[in-house]
Structure formats: structure tokens, C-alpha cells
Chain A
Amino acid sequence: MGANIANGIGASALRKEDQRFLTGAGNYTDDINIPGQTYACFLRSPHAHAAIRKIDTRAAAAAPGVVAIFTGEDLAEAKVGGLPCGWLITDVNGQPMKEPPHPLLAQGKARHVGDQVAVVIAETYLQAKDAAELIEVDYEVLDAAVDVATATQPGQPAVHDIAPDNVCYVWGHGDKAAVDKAFAAAAHVTTLEFRNNRLIPNAIEPRAAVAQYSRSEDAYTLHVANQNPHVERLLMTAFVLGLPEHKVRVIAPDVGGGFGSKIFLYAEETVITWAAKRVNRPIKWTAERSESFLADAHGRDHATRAELALDKDGKFLAMRVHTKANLGAYLSTFASSVPTILYATLLAGQYATPAIYAEVTGVFTNTAPVDAYRGAGRPEATFTVERLVSAAALEMGIDQAEIRRRNFITSFPYATPVGLTYDTGNYEATLAAAMKIADVAGFPARREEAKKRGKLRGLGYSCYIEACGLAPSNVAGALGARAGLFEAGEIRVHPTGSVTVFTGSHSHGQGHETTFAQVVAERLGIPFENVDVVHGDTGRIPFGMGTYGSRSLAVGGTAIMKALDKVIDKGRKIAAHLLEAADSDIVFEDGNFKVAGTDKQVAFGQVAFSAYVPHNYPLDRLEPGLDETAFYDPTNFTYPAGSHICEVEIDPETGVVRVVGYTASDDFGNVINPMIVEGQVHGGLAQGIGQALLEQAVYDPDSGQLLTGSYGDYAMPRADDLPNFKVDTQVTPCTHNPLGVKGCGEAGAIGSPPAVISAVIDALKELGVRDMAMPATPHRVWQAIQSARA
């Protein structure tokens, strides 16, 4: 595909959204103010696990400016439901997962530090906050189950009565017998035990919501920082509040980053929507960052034992994985699917491993809910696979690139033993490109040079795959999804030939307003400037599923392509009439409808005008207007894949790891806007390197207090923690969508953690270090060096 017009497909078009973001004209939820609005402040539990004996709100209710106070009891009385989980996992015995209630405000018990106990609504935020401090809660503090590795052991306190052992489900995937057999015959077995560290998403815009109720329309409007407003509305109205869906409008305006954390239906926006009618005033709530730390859904937090069986030549025979996945105190919207469906299905990686078995135990703990965070299950799978491969190569004395090449899948389509069918890929190509760009050949010399300066250099590989473009609805449904996963797009051509695109996808940094406009401009042959993209408003867009899982272009873009097909199809009929030709003789090229083989043609704009001013128009067989909607349900996942190579330098005196080189060669299929794609990779890499070297959510193992509750304690990657990245793309077009695209939003976060950790181990291997936990902080690295030397 090549651009036929300026800013068409393949062009690094500068972004349409930037003008407003760069001049302070962005419109984020907290920027929205509604006359007469009040402010909500949530009182949160200071304890990880406590029975609530009594809540006394009298003093708070009498405080200045207070409009209303609600507790869990009030919501129970009003018959408000709990937050639903969108994915049913069935355990190894065929039993449904344990689904404890998830009340909007704690009822009877608080189950993690930060659990919402009451809400105060007042004239100003400071008044709401002051009053919240006057609420007296009589807590009976209980022992807490905190650590995923130990929470299922006998004697641990139960987070929920219905799961006395804190097990939500034990889920198995793959052919266990075949795997056990292959292990018995293996020449070599590599075994690793590790934690996939718990992360806090930390979009820089904290969650926020403004809810209002109109008595005249008997309808609600909710502005909320969210990635999928239709899903938010459906869950909130149908499952929690019992409101008519058509009486609630959900608007996700400019959203300052999501990374998964704004997919979910949270208690706060649901409570204020309900309360807006009660108090008959608009209500605004904006999280303070400390609340984001405590009450946004966290990511990762697995404890894993993984084994790889190999023959004597380093060919993979089988893989066996046991993972305990922390789900936190309640099941967040997609929590159950992340460590199962989005994890175990990816354990084949890029390799032709014949047999794989994974068993995942979903565990409740007295910590914040854990759900999808950039990559969602796939970074955990990639870490498992790629660390096993790197460790096996080291143990067997095989070159890191060579062991990968020996096991790559090379013919497509390829059905993995864990349920996916990869449609296309070229893993050799991305590995070769990455090795060239990273100058792997020159590494030994760089290592020697570093040694002279007293530094240790290492190189680490990661060849990842992800399943994106979520998802074929019937497949997802068979696996337990309680929602469809199609996408919707509408192309509204205006009488003057300009176009507004309405998409169910949502942009919170990805640049859809630009990329989607490029697709439409190219297909219709009209100027990029004449196309605007509308997203994020249930009052304007068709029902769509929103943005996560790198799905927007592959699924949302395809819906737009389908709608464009309909527009062109109708345009062809109009043009046939105008040109006095048969429909079948009309071709559409470069923005003109032409009678094939002649020079007779009519421009797209003229056809659009005729559709709305149908004076000379086939009204007997065609409706006027040019406005088409399409829904697209994908037939398969897409499979972006690539090779990452990380080079680190370690100061053995301090344990400080510096990433001195990072190369990513990715195959995202066709690329619409290379500039935006590179930016997506950069951002993902920063989060993945952050996971590998810096970030870690820490709870006190006894009290369940979050010890990393601010930017003072939680190490966010800063500009001087990161290198410049070298990024490259190789292209095998996706075979089952018309744009041939696969998705790029999560790749960086998926591919990078094992590359970094393997580079650290490579640097330290001559000292005898064989393993390194994430994050590889200076303290940890220094200790590893000391104990290796001892």
C-alpha cells in the first residue's frame, strides 16, 4: 500500500489532535464544569481487611457545605447492584469461578486499603474532604491475606466467605498427558521460578468523572475518563443501576492515557451517577494521585514455576507452567480473563513447541483489584517463554539467536497447541533485522571496552508474539466472554463532500483522529483535512466496544473500511445514473467515479452533493443521503510479533543498570502512520523497561498497607532512566482484514521485560549469576554480585 494522496496510508501525517493538546485547549474530564456542580470525596478504608461495625455520619453531615452522605447500607437499601465481571472462567473440574459480590461502597467489610466505605457530596471539594474526615467508622481489624504466593495456604484469612481458600478458580489449558510424557523423555529440562512484579498503571491523568441528571429529560449524562464508553454504559445501566440504557449518555472526552486502567467500570463513577439524581445536582469526582495508587486496578502480579523440556539439540519438546495470579480483593471487569485466556494461549510464543500445559490459580487477596494493564497477560506469557528460552540456551551452551532460530515457526497458518492459529509472520526477518541494527556482531568488542572501564556489559533477546485485534465474538464467547468484541464505524458524507467518521474505538493518546482520517482520505481520495473523526460519546457514535488489546485499527479500522465500501457502492449507483451508464461499468479511482475504459467521470464530491440534492437522482431505486454504518466482527486474532535486543551496562560497585542500547524490530503488518507507530513502540518500551528495572507495587506482607503509594515510593521511569530507542518494522500483512494491519499499542511493553532481564543476566553470567528478579534495582543487582563473589 502506498499513499496516493498527501497524508494518506503510509504517510507520517502530523496529528490532528496536537493543536488542542499543545495550546491548552484539550478537554479532559476534570476540565469540564457544569453549573451547580457539587464535589464528591470517597472515604476509603485505612485497613486491608476489617469488619465494619458501625458508621457514624452525624458530625460529617452537619459540616459546612455538605449536601449528602451515602454508605453501603444506603445503596443496599436502594437495591443498587454490585460491579460485574465480564468473563466467566470455568475451572479444571467444570465448576464456574467463585464470583463474590463487588459492592460499590463496602458492605459489612472492607477488603483492601483504599476500598470505598462512604461518599461525601459537598459544595466544594475541600468541604467534602473535610467532612469525610469527620465520618466515624468503627472497624474491627482482621488479619489480611496479602501475598499471592501464600494466600492459598491453610490458615490464611479468607477474603470472601465463598472462597475460604482464597481460590477463585484453578484453570488448566493444554494437553497435560502429552506434556508429562515429553518431559519424561527430555534430554534437558530448564526450570525457573519467578514473580511477574505487580505494577500500577499510572496514566498521568487520574481517573475522573462528572455525572449529571436532567429532570426535564429524565436522563443522565456522565463524563468519564474511560476507554470504552458504550461498554461502561452497558455495564453500569444493565448490571448495576438498572437504568434504561437509552436514558444514559456516557462521554469519554480527551482522556490522558489509559493503558488498560480506564477500561473498567469502577465504583466511583457509578456511585456519582446514581447520586446525581438523588441530590439533583451535578457531581464531580477527580481522583487524587494517592487514590489512583490505592484504587485503580493494578497489573501483573504472578508467581510462576515454568519448565521447558528440550532434546539434545536444543529443540523444544514441551512446556509446563504453573502460575498463581493475584486477582486482588474483588473481580474487576476483565480480571478473570487476563491471567488465563490472554496468558496461557500465548505460551507457544514464536516457537513450534509441540506440547504445552498451563495451570493457573486465580487468587483473592486483600489488595487492590488486578486487571488488564498494557499487554494484559501477554507480557507475562512472553516473560515466561523468553526467560525459559534464554536460560535453556545458557545452560546448554547454545547461542541465544541460534536456539531461537532452531525452534521458530516457519510455515503458516500454524495452529499452536494452546488454541490459537497464527495466520502469518516471519520471525527470522525480525530477528535478523534486530541483530543487524543492534550491531550484535560488534558486541564482543563493546563488552571488552566496557570491561576496561570496570563495567559489565550484557545483551538480551526477546522474541515475542501477541494476540491482538480482540476478538472473534463467538470464540471469545465460547471461552467465557460475556460481551461481544466486534467494532462499529459510521461514515457520514456531508453534502459538500467532507466526511465525519464515527467510531466505537476510543483514542486516549493513540492518535485515531489522525490515523483513521488517513485511511478514509486515502480510500475516498479526498483531502485529509476534510475528514474528522468522532469518538467517545454514546450519544453520537454507534455501539462499539472501545479501545484495548491493540484492537482499534485491526477491528475498528476494518469496520470503517466496511462502511467505506458501502459508501462507495452507493456512490457507484449514483454515479451510474449521473453518467448514464450501468452500475457495473463504474469504477472508483483516486476520488472519481469513472465509466471503465472511457474518460467519463464524476468526482466524489459531486456524487455526495447529488445524494443530498437529489434533483437528478435515481429516487425510484435508491434512497437519498450518503451515510453508512458497518459492524465488523473479526474472524481471527491478529498476531503482531517481533524481536527485541537490549544492551545494558552495569556498574558492579553500585549495581546500577544502564540500558545503553535498545532495538526493536516489529511486524505489525501494514503501517498506516509510521510516526505514530514508532511513538506507540517507544511508550510501550518505557513501560516494559520500567517493569524490568524500576517499578514495583509493594504491600506490607502483614498489614496489607500499600508501601508504594506515591511517586516518592513508586519508581516511575523518568527521561534520564531511558535510552534512545532504535525501532524498525518488518511487514507480513495480516491475512484476514482489508488493511492488513495487526496492532502495535502493546508490543513494547510485551517484548521488553525479558530482553532487559536477560541482558542483565548476560552481563553478570561470568560471575556465575543465573537469575534476576524484576525489578532489577541497584540493590538487587549489587546483592547478586556480592553473593556470586562470596
Chain B
Amino acid sequence: MNVKLSLTVNGKAVAAEVDPRTLLVQFLREHLRLTGTHVGCDTGQCGACTIHLDGRAVKSCNLLAVQAQGAEVTTIEGLAAPNGDMHPMQAAFKECHGLQCGFCTPGMVMSATALLKDNPKPTEEQIRAGLDGNFCRCTGYHNIVKAVQSCAAGS
């Protein structure tokens, strides 16, 4: 028994019929083919699936698609400027080598942008605490923290 779903994703109106069991992350990846949002776990802990829902960073594996009814969703694909210029956080990650395999990266960038929105001048400790819900197995976080600091300093 499918249910009707309509929402805005990366600025575009989207309407679909989905199995009510569909997770938001599955809806994004499998229905909309927005594969930039990743799945790294099945327990809501790794943060690879982080997106913005009405401006807040959320783990899209922890929500049903129907819970995004009427919402504004932004994924990593929607973060760059319409002309393709990277968002300052994306640019800072590149500049500071804040990514290696890239798998945690979309979620990390979405969390980091939300973090700076709430706290534009965080301390290192606040950055580390703020990214506590996003695992990275590659970078040791050192350069991720640097990227967030550099983005905060630039904005």
C-alpha cells in the first residue's frame, strides 16, 4: 500500500508514491538517484547519510521518507552554487585535505555546514563535539577539524 509523498529536494518539487517502510535515505538514493548521500550503518550512528531537513542536519537513515512530507531537503548535490562553484565548506575540505576515500564526506560536510550555521565561530573542542555523530575512518579528523576552522575563519 503505497503512500503519496511530496517535498522539495535541492530546490525542486518532488512527488512520488512510496512504500511506507521506505527510509528517507532510500528515497533519495533509489528513487531520486541522488547517490551522494551514503549509507554506512544500520543503527543511526555513522552519519554518512546526513542531509539538511528544513535547514537542520539530520540522519536520513533515521527517518521514514513520509516524515519528510512537505519539507525542504538539501543533499550534498544541492550544496554548491547553481553555477557549480563549491560551497565554502566544500572548498575548505578540498583545501585542507579533509577527505580521503570520500565516503563519509557528504555527511561530514552537511553536518559541518549546519554546525557553523548554529555556531559561526566554534572552538576546536566545539567542532570536535559537533562532529561526534559522523565517523571518518580515513582522516583521523585532524584535517576535517582544520577545514571547519578554515571555513569559519573565512566566513
A209 to chain B, nearest CB (A): 15
B133 to chain A, nearest CB (A): 8
- The residue in chain B whose Cβ has the minimal distance to the Cβ of A511 is B100
A508 to B141, CA, bound (A): 17
Given the contacts A23-B86, A679-B100, A686 and B43 also touching, CB distance less than 8 Å: no
A126 to B22, CA, bound (A): 10
Given the contacts A257-B103, A683-B138, A711 and B132 also touching, CB distance less than 8 Å: no
A27 to B125, CA, bound (A): 33
Q: Is the CB of B97 within 8 A of A15?
A: yes
Partner of B137, one of A126, A683, A748: A683
B28 to chain A, nearest CB (A): 10
Q: Is the CB of A509 within 8 A of B100?
A: yes
Q: Is the CB of A17 within 8 A of B102?
A: yes
B12 at the interface (CB under 8 A from A): no
Tell which of B102, B105, B136 has the most Cβ of chain A within 10 Å: B102
A397 at the interface (CB under 8 A from B): no
A441 at the interface (CB under 8 A from B): no
From 105 to 135 in chain A, residues with beta carbon under 8 angstroms from any chain B beta carbon are 126
Q: Is the CB of B40 within 8 A of A206?
A: yes
Given the contacts A22-B90, A719-B131, A204 and B100 also touching, CB distance less than 8 Å: no
| Complex contacts, A204 vs chain B, CB 8 Å | 38, 40, 46, 48, 101, 103-104, 135-138
Given the contacts A22-B93, A24-B34, A679 and B139 also touching, CB distance less than 8 Å: yes
A423 to chain B, nearest CB (A): 29
Total interface residues on B, using CB and 8 Å? 56
Q: Is the CB of B40 within 8 A of A205?
A: yes
| Complex contacts, A685 vs chain B, CB 8 Å | 140
From 77 to 101 in chain B, residues with beta carbon under 8 angstroms from any chain A beta carbon are 77, 79-80, 86, 90, 93-95, 97, 99-101
- The residue in chain B whose Cβ has the minimal distance to the Cβ of A718 is B132
A411 at the interface (CB under 8 A from B): no
Q: Is the CB of B138 within 8 A of A257?
A: yes
A31 at the interface (CB under 8 A from B): yes
Q: Is the CB of B128 within 8 A of A719?
A: yes
Q: Is the CB of A682 within 8 A of B143?
A: yes
A685 to B134, CA, bound (A): 18
A87 to chain B, nearest CB (A): 26
Q: Interface SS of chain B: helix, strand, loop or mixed? A: loop
A603 to chain B, nearest CB (A): 31
Given the contacts A23-B86, A711-B43, A719-B127, A256 and B103 also touching, CB distance less than 8 Å: yes
Partner of A722, one of B45, B77, B140: B140
Tell which of A21, A22, A30 has the most Cβ of chain B within 10 Å: A22
- The residue in chain B whose Cβ has the minimal distance to the Cβ of A12 is B97
B42 at the interface (CB under 8 A from A): yes
Q: Is the CB of A510 within 8 A of B100?
A: yes
From 100 to 150 in chain B, residues with beta carbon under 8 angstroms from any chain A beta carbon are 100-106, 109, 124-125, 127-129, 131-132, 134-145
Q: Is the CB of A205 within 8 A of B135?
A: no
| Complex contacts, A686 vs chain B, CB 8 Å | 137, 139-141
From 248 to 293 in chain A, residues with beta carbon under 8 angstroms from any chain B beta carbon are 254-257, 259, 286, 288-290
Contact with B along A26-52 (1 / 0, CB 8 A): 111011010000000000000000000
A258 to chain B, nearest CB (A): 8
How many A residues touch the partner, as a band? 35 or more
A255 to B38, CA, bound (A): 12
| Complex contacts, A596 vs chain B, CB 8 Å | none
Q: Is the CB of B40 within 8 A of A675?
A: no
Q: Is the CB of A254 within 8 A of B139?
A: no
| Complex contacts, B43 vs chain A, CB 8 Å | 289-290, 710-712
Partner of B142, one of A19, A23, A724: A724
A31 to B90, CA, bound (A): 21
| Complex contacts, B77 vs chain A, CB 8 Å | 23-25
| Complex contacts, A33 vs chain B, CB 8 Å | 33
| Complex contacts, A682 vs chain B, CB 8 Å | 139-143
Q: Is the CB of B102 within 8 A of A254?
A: yes
Q: Is the CB of B93 within 8 A of A18?
A: yes
Q: Is the CB of A31 within 8 A of B132?
A: no
A367 at the interface (CB under 8 A from B): no
B8 at the interface (CB under 8 A from A): no
A655 to B128, CA, bound (A): 21
Q: Is the CB of A126 within 8 A of B21?
A: yes
- The residue in chain B whose Cβ has the minimal distance to the Cβ of A286 is B39
A14 to B135, CA, bound (A): 23
From 657 to 689 in chain A, residues with beta carbon under 8 angstroms from any chain B beta carbon are 675-676, 678-680, 682-687
B151 at the interface (CB under 8 A from A): no
A396 at the interface (CB under 8 A from B): no
Given the contacts A15-B94, A204-B135, A23 and B45 also touching, CB distance less than 8 Å: no
A298 to chain B, nearest CB (A): 15
Given the contacts A24-B36, A26-B102, A711-B46, A679 and B41 also touching, CB distance less than 8 Å: no
Tell which of B19, B35, B79 has the most Cβ of chain A within 10 Å: B35
Q: Is the CB of B93 within 8 A of A30?
A: no
A731 at the interface (CB under 8 A from B): no
- The residue in chain A whose Cβ has the minimal distance to the Cβ of B96 is A675
B60 at the interface (CB under 8 A from A): no
| Complex contacts, A206 vs chain B, CB 8 Å | 39-40
Q: Is the CB of A22 within 8 A of B101?
A: no
Partner of B99, one of A18, A290, A508, A710: A18
- The residue in chain B whose Cβ has the minimal distance to the Cβ of A680 is B100
| Complex contacts, A203 vs chain B, CB 8 Å | 101, 103, 137
From 18 to 60 in chain B, residues with beta carbon under 8 angstroms from any chain A beta carbon are 19, 21, 29, 33-43, 45-46, 48
From 238 to 254 in chain A, residues with beta carbon under 8 angstroms from any chain B beta carbon are 254
A725 at the interface (CB under 8 A from B): yes
8 A/B residue pairs, CB under 8 Å, sorted by A: A14-B97, A22-B99, A23-B76, A26-B103, A206-B40, A679-B100, A684-B140, A686-B141
Closest 3 CB pairs of A and B: A24-B36, A256-B103, A21-B102
Apart from A202-B137, A204-B40: 12 A-B pairs, beta carbons within 8 A: A23-B77, A23-B79, A26-B103, A31-B35, A204-B48, A205-B103, A256-B40, A257-B101, A290-B42, A682-B142, A683-B137, A683-B140
